[in-house]
Amino acid sequence: MKIHIFIAHMGIGGSERVCVNLANEWAKKHEVHIVVLNLDNDVNTHLLDSSVKVHELGVSRLRYAALPILRYIRKNRPGFMFIFGMEMAIILNKLKKLRLVDTKLVVRILNNVNISLAKEDNVSPVVENYLKRSQIQMQDMDVVIAQCKAMGKMLLDSKVVSGDKLKVIYNPVSSDLISKVEVLRKENKALGNRITFIGRIDPQKQPDHLIRAFEKIKKELPEARLRLVGDGNLIEQTKKLVSELNLDGSVIFDGIRKDMENVYADCDVVVLTSQYEGMPNALIEAIGCGIPVVSYDCPIGPSEIIEDGVNGFIIDQDDTDEFAQKTVIALG
């Protein structure tokens, strides 16, 4: 069987890593194609099995993707497309309504549809309003995949999708990643007091909360170190806050990393201070690698990943005091 996956980019992000994990697993038995807008800022295609074929549409934004994706479908005639994200699904649905394509559409919802899209993607209010109104088009999809039970309930309560089309499928973790981290952690005997954040440094993730919690952690554990793996539009603001709190020597800004096995092998706890999530893949991967996690109990996802006091801690939203205390315990 031929499997055609659409995802906007292959840059940093949990969805991109899920895409890689799925593609590599499917490639064991099927012919897999991944379609992207472009490969700018690509950090993931090197992880793909050599048999997976990647196709660039050659456009910079989703708004320009309709004609290129139409040409791709007419050339390759996929039986169905597995789509990461609502926006591309809306474009494909428009093409179906115009009877230009007759491809089955399976869409994986990426984030919390009740949260402002402007917060998530920095889109204009006009585009945001259009996408909000267009959510009803998910009812036309053949299958809609939610990443967790809470997301599934949200989609049903919002009437974005009907129950007969909804499937809840949790994100996969690469067994290859887990094996590599296990080997590296055995080789690295100098672990201790290393805290790691993985993700976009943007308003959704509330990096200022993390830095202020870390300031409190330092009072308990002077040797503690915080590593931020990722990039985003708040990185300079976050660096400024680090300097204001005199934490420069203890906070490392790693930028985008391709060697995630080394990132996980080189930390003792993975942390998250988000306002909201879809299903935070960094927490799933960390737990899979045997690393404790500490996260705000934000909507949605963390409460379905973390067993409080067993594989990590769930913290009341925006409580930096409790966050700091439980991170110290996790490090102990």
Structure tokens at 270: 């993975």
Instruction: Give residues with Cβ within 8 angstroms of 270, minimum separation 6.
Output: 196, 197, 198, 264, 282, 283, 286, 291, 292, 293, 294
Reported pTM: 0.84
- Using a 10 angstrom Cβ sphere, with 0-12 exposed, 13-18 middle and 19 or more buried, the burial of residue 87 is buried
Query: 189-216 pLDDT, tens per residue?
Result: 666 799 999 999 999 999 999 999 999 9
Q: What is the largest CA-CA distance in the chain?
A: 64
Query: 240-254 pLDDT, tens per residue?
Result: 999 999 999 999 999
Average pLDDT for 123-149: 80
Task: Report, in this order, helix, strand and coil percent for the chain, each rounded to 5.
Answer: 45, 20, 40
Query: 76-87 pLDDT, tens per residue?
Result: 999 999 999 888
pLDDT at 287: 96
Q: What whole-number percentage of the chain has pLDDT above 70? A: 93
Query: 228-281 pLDDT, tens per residue?
Result: 999 999 999 999 999 999 999 999 999 989 899 999 999 999 999 999 988 899
Structure tokens at 211: 């830095």
Residue 131: band (very low, low, confident or very high) from pLDDT cuts 50, 70, 90 = low
Distance CA 289, CA 182 (A): 7
Task: Identify any residues that bridge with 82 across adjacent strands, giving them in sequence order.
Answer: 5, 106
pLDDT at 124: 64
* CATH numbers and ranges of domains, the chain: 2-168 (3.40.50.2000), 176-331 (3.40.50.2000)
pLDDT at 118: 44
pLDDT at 74: 94
Query: 167-187 pLDDT, tens per residue?
Result: 999 998 889 999 999 999 887
pLDDT at 99: 93
Structure tokens at 68: 């290129």
pLDDT at 286: 96
The answer to whether 163 and 144 have CB atoms below 8 angstroms apart is: no
Residue 122: band (very low, low, confident or very high) from pLDDT cuts 50, 70, 90 = low
Closest by Cα among 227, 233, 230, 229 to 202: 233
Other CB atoms within 10 A of residue 39 CB: 14
Residue 116: band (very low, low, confident or very high) from pLDDT cuts 50, 70, 90 = very low
Average pLDDT for 60-86: 93
Asked if pLDDT for residue 119 goes beyond 60, the answer is no
Residue 160: band (very low, low, confident or very high) from pLDDT cuts 50, 70, 90 = confident
pLDDT, mean over the chain: 91
Residue predicted with more confidence, 41 or 20:
20
Task: Identify any residues that bridge with 33 across adjacent strands, giving them in sequence order.
Answer: 4, 53
Residue type, 124: S
